[in-house]
Amino acid sequence: MSTIRTQKAKENLDFLTGLPSRNKGEQAIAQLMKHHSGCLVFMDMDNLKTINDIYGHKAGDRVLKLLGNLLLEYSSECLACRLGGDEFLLFMPDADQNSITEVITAIFKKFNTRKEQDPELHAASISAGLYMCNIGDSFDECYTKADKALYFVKQNGKSDFSFHEK
Protein backbone atom coordinates (compact mmCIF):
# COMPACT_ATOMS: atom_id res chain seq x y z
CA MET A 1 0.00 0.00 0.00
CA SER A 2 2.82 2.42 0.81
CA THR A 3 4.40 1.73 -2.60
CA ILE A 4 1.14 2.75 -4.31
CA ARG A 5 1.02 5.96 -2.24
CA THR A 6 4.65 6.69 -3.09
CA GLN A 7 3.95 6.13 -6.78
CA LYS A 8 0.89 8.43 -6.66
CA ALA A 9 2.92 11.12 -4.88
CA LYS A 10 5.61 10.89 -7.58
CA GLU A 11 2.98 11.23 -10.32
CA ASN A 12 1.69 14.42 -8.68
CA LEU A 13 5.11 16.12 -8.58
CA ASP A 14 7.51 17.11 -11.32
CA PHE A 15 10.67 15.22 -10.37
CA LEU A 16 13.04 17.94 -11.59
CA THR A 17 11.53 21.08 -10.06
CA GLY A 18 9.56 19.74 -7.09
CA LEU A 19 6.50 21.62 -8.33
CA PRO A 20 3.16 19.93 -8.94
CA SER A 21 2.94 18.10 -12.26
CA ARG A 22 0.89 19.52 -15.11
CA ASN A 23 -2.24 17.45 -14.44
CA LYS A 24 -2.20 17.98 -10.68
CA GLY A 25 -1.35 21.68 -10.99
CA GLU A 26 -3.94 22.47 -13.64
CA GLN A 27 -6.63 20.65 -11.65
CA ALA A 28 -5.74 22.53 -8.47
CA ILE A 29 -5.64 25.90 -10.26
CA ALA A 30 -8.98 25.26 -12.01
CA GLN A 31 -10.52 24.35 -8.65
CA LEU A 32 -9.12 27.49 -7.01
CA MET A 33 -10.45 29.64 -9.86
CA LYS A 34 -14.00 28.48 -9.12
CA HIS A 35 -13.91 30.36 -5.81
CA HIS A 36 -11.28 33.08 -6.25
CA SER A 37 -10.51 35.86 -8.65
CA GLY A 38 -6.84 36.41 -9.38
CA CYS A 39 -4.20 36.24 -12.04
CA LEU A 40 -3.22 33.31 -14.24
CA VAL A 41 0.43 33.53 -15.25
CA PHE A 42 1.89 31.54 -18.15
CA MET A 43 5.67 31.58 -17.67
CA ASP A 44 8.26 30.36 -20.13
CA MET A 45 12.03 29.94 -19.90
CA ASP A 46 13.84 31.84 -22.65
CA ASN A 47 16.89 30.34 -24.37
CA LEU A 48 16.72 26.90 -22.72
CA LYS A 49 17.53 25.20 -26.03
CA THR A 50 20.64 27.38 -26.39
CA ILE A 51 21.81 26.41 -22.90
CA ASN A 52 21.14 22.72 -23.61
CA ASP A 53 22.96 22.89 -26.96
CA ILE A 54 26.03 24.74 -25.67
CA TYR A 55 26.43 23.45 -22.09
CA GLY A 56 24.42 20.24 -22.10
CA HIS A 57 21.16 19.11 -20.56
CA LYS A 58 22.54 19.13 -17.00
CA ALA A 59 22.93 22.91 -17.29
CA GLY A 60 19.38 23.12 -18.67
CA ASP A 61 18.15 21.03 -15.75
CA ARG A 62 19.92 23.37 -13.31
CA VAL A 63 18.17 26.44 -14.69
CA LEU A 64 14.78 24.67 -14.57
CA LYS A 65 15.46 23.67 -10.94
CA LEU A 66 16.47 27.24 -10.17
CA LEU A 67 13.13 28.56 -11.43
CA GLY A 68 11.21 25.73 -9.75
CA ASN A 69 12.86 26.45 -6.39
CA LEU A 70 12.17 30.14 -6.80
CA LEU A 71 8.48 29.53 -7.51
CA LEU A 72 8.29 27.27 -4.45
CA GLU A 73 9.54 30.22 -2.37
CA TYR A 74 6.44 32.12 -3.49
CA SER A 75 4.00 29.34 -2.59
CA SER A 76 2.22 31.65 -0.11
CA GLU A 77 1.43 34.08 -2.96
CA CYS A 78 0.71 31.65 -5.77
CA LEU A 79 0.06 28.08 -6.80
CA ALA A 80 2.60 27.05 -9.44
CA CYS A 81 3.14 23.95 -11.55
CA ARG A 82 5.45 22.86 -14.32
CA LEU A 83 3.55 22.28 -17.53
CA GLY A 84 6.50 20.52 -19.13
CA GLY A 85 9.64 21.48 -21.00
CA ASP A 86 10.32 25.12 -20.22
CA GLU A 87 6.74 26.15 -19.37
CA PHE A 88 5.21 26.91 -15.99
CA LEU A 89 1.75 28.00 -14.87
CA LEU A 90 0.93 30.06 -11.78
CA PHE A 91 -2.29 31.28 -10.24
CA MET A 92 -2.22 34.19 -7.83
CA PRO A 93 -5.57 34.23 -6.02
CA ASP A 94 -7.22 37.32 -4.58
CA ALA A 95 -4.48 39.65 -5.80
CA ASP A 96 -4.76 42.99 -7.58
CA GLN A 97 -2.69 44.05 -10.56
CA ASN A 98 -0.26 46.13 -8.45
CA SER A 99 0.58 43.32 -6.03
CA ILE A 100 0.86 40.86 -8.92
CA THR A 101 3.27 43.20 -10.70
CA GLU A 102 5.37 43.42 -7.51
CA VAL A 103 5.55 39.64 -7.10
CA ILE A 104 6.35 38.94 -10.77
CA THR A 105 9.00 41.70 -10.77
CA ALA A 106 10.55 40.17 -7.64
CA ILE A 107 10.58 36.69 -9.22
CA PHE A 108 12.28 38.06 -12.36
CA LYS A 109 14.84 39.99 -10.28
CA LYS A 110 15.71 37.02 -8.04
CA PHE A 111 15.93 34.72 -11.04
CA ASN A 112 18.36 37.08 -12.79
CA THR A 113 20.49 37.45 -9.65
CA ARG A 114 20.68 33.70 -9.00
CA LYS A 115 21.40 32.68 -12.60
CA GLU A 116 24.43 34.99 -12.62
CA GLN A 117 26.06 32.71 -10.02
CA ASP A 118 26.40 30.00 -12.68
CA PRO A 119 28.27 31.08 -15.84
CA GLU A 120 26.51 28.42 -17.92
CA LEU A 121 23.09 29.93 -17.17
CA HIS A 122 23.74 33.56 -18.19
CA ALA A 123 21.69 33.22 -21.40
CA ALA A 124 18.57 32.17 -19.47
CA SER A 125 15.71 34.55 -18.88
CA ILE A 126 11.99 34.23 -18.28
CA SER A 127 8.96 35.65 -20.02
CA ALA A 128 5.40 35.67 -18.73
CA GLY A 129 1.89 36.36 -19.95
CA LEU A 130 -0.68 37.34 -17.34
CA TYR A 131 -4.46 37.39 -17.35
CA MET A 132 -6.74 38.75 -14.62
CA CYS A 133 -9.50 36.20 -13.96
CA ASN A 134 -12.85 36.61 -12.27
CA ILE A 135 -14.45 34.03 -9.99
CA GLY A 136 -15.87 31.23 -12.09
CA ASP A 137 -14.07 32.16 -15.33
CA SER A 138 -13.26 29.21 -17.57
CA PHE A 139 -9.79 27.83 -16.91
CA ASP A 140 -9.33 27.13 -20.63
CA GLU A 141 -10.28 30.68 -21.67
CA CYS A 142 -7.99 32.25 -19.07
CA TYR A 143 -5.19 29.89 -20.09
CA THR A 144 -5.58 30.91 -23.74
CA LYS A 145 -5.50 34.62 -22.85
CA ALA A 146 -2.42 34.25 -20.63
CA ASP A 147 -0.78 32.30 -23.46
CA LYS A 148 -1.57 35.12 -25.91
CA ALA A 149 0.01 37.64 -23.54
CA LEU A 150 3.10 35.41 -23.34
CA TYR A 151 3.23 35.22 -27.13
CA PHE A 152 3.18 39.04 -27.25
CA VAL A 153 6.18 39.18 -24.90
CA LYS A 154 8.07 36.56 -26.92
CA GLN A 155 7.45 38.49 -30.14
CA ASN A 156 8.64 41.74 -28.55
CA GLY A 157 12.03 40.84 -27.13
CA LYS A 158 11.45 38.23 -24.39
CA SER A 159 12.64 38.58 -20.77
CA ASP A 160 9.57 40.55 -19.73
CA PHE A 161 5.92 40.13 -18.76
CA SER A 162 2.66 41.54 -20.02
CA PHE A 163 -0.98 41.55 -18.96
CA HIS A 164 -3.55 40.47 -21.56
CA GLU A 165 -5.92 43.34 -22.13
CA LYS A 166 -9.57 42.34 -21.71
Q: Catalytic positions, please?
A: 86
Q: CA 42, CA 154: separation in Å to the nearest integer?
A: 12
How far from each other are the two terminal CA atoms of the chain, in whole angstroms?
A: 49
Residue 90: enclosing H or E segment and its boundaries? strand 87-93
* Cβ-based neighbours of 120, under 8 Å, separated by 6 or more: 51, 54, 55, 59, 62
Give the count of beta carbons closer than 10 Å to the beta carbon of residue 73: 11
Q: CA 147, CA 128: separation in Å to the nearest integer?
A: 8
User: Which of 117, 119, 33, 18 is CA-nearest to residue 70?
Assistant: 18
